[in-house]
Amino acid sequence: MEKDKKHLYYLNELSDYKVKSDDPDVRGWQIQDREGRSIGKVDNLLVNKESEKVVYLDVELDKSILEAKHTPYSNPAREGAHEVMNKDGENHLIVPIGLVSLDSDKKIVHSDTIDHRTFSETKRMEKGSSVDRKYEIMVLDSYNREQSPSYAEGERLYEREEYNPSSSRNT
């Protein structure tokens, strides 16, 4: 098995794939954060060919996100340094479909859990860039950090809970 085998494809790359007739095609729809602020518009859909499902929305970011100038979130490489920085031309990011809901009447995608600042601090990519697992993990870590108590207190720390079989409550 190839280590860096491509596993996600843009829907427009796959001539034999299309949105199911009973599902809305959200490309072109606006996406809003949990407070209703604009994040951008859905530019494309990312498909996992193995599961034959759309797993991410490719979002072209709103000017308000691009101009926010927040430092992208990542675990520090060393004290005071971050591994990722957004560059000019990187004006897209991915959003897992499990983190959004649809308002078909208004043609709006809502992110019910992620706020404007978190979107602005998330590592971006250029339009049409190949999405690898490293980028996926970086984005998911950014979105998941709000679950951490230290984030709620204003700190920029993220810790994963490690599974400890001895603390398991299986009896």
Helix (H, G, I), strand (E, B) or coil at 91: coil
Least confident of 1-5, 35-39, 92-96, 151-155: 151-155
For residue 30, CA distances in Å to 22, 33, 36, 75, 101 come to 20, 10, 11, 30, 12
Question: How, if at all, do strands 38-48 and 8-10 pair?
Answer: antiparallel
Domain residue spans in the chain? 8-167
Residue 23 phi, psi (nearest 5): -110, 145
Q: How confident is the model at residue 87 (pLDDT cuts 50, 70, 90)?
A: confident
**What is the value of pTM for the model shown?**
0.75
Q: In the structure encoding, which two tokens stand for residue 153, read together?
A: 């207190």
- Indicate the class that CATH gives domain 8-167: alpha beta
Task: Give pLDDT tens digits for 99-149.
Answer: 999 999 999 999 989 999 999 989 999 999 999 999 999 999 989 875 444
Residue 9 has pLDDT above 50, yes or no: yes
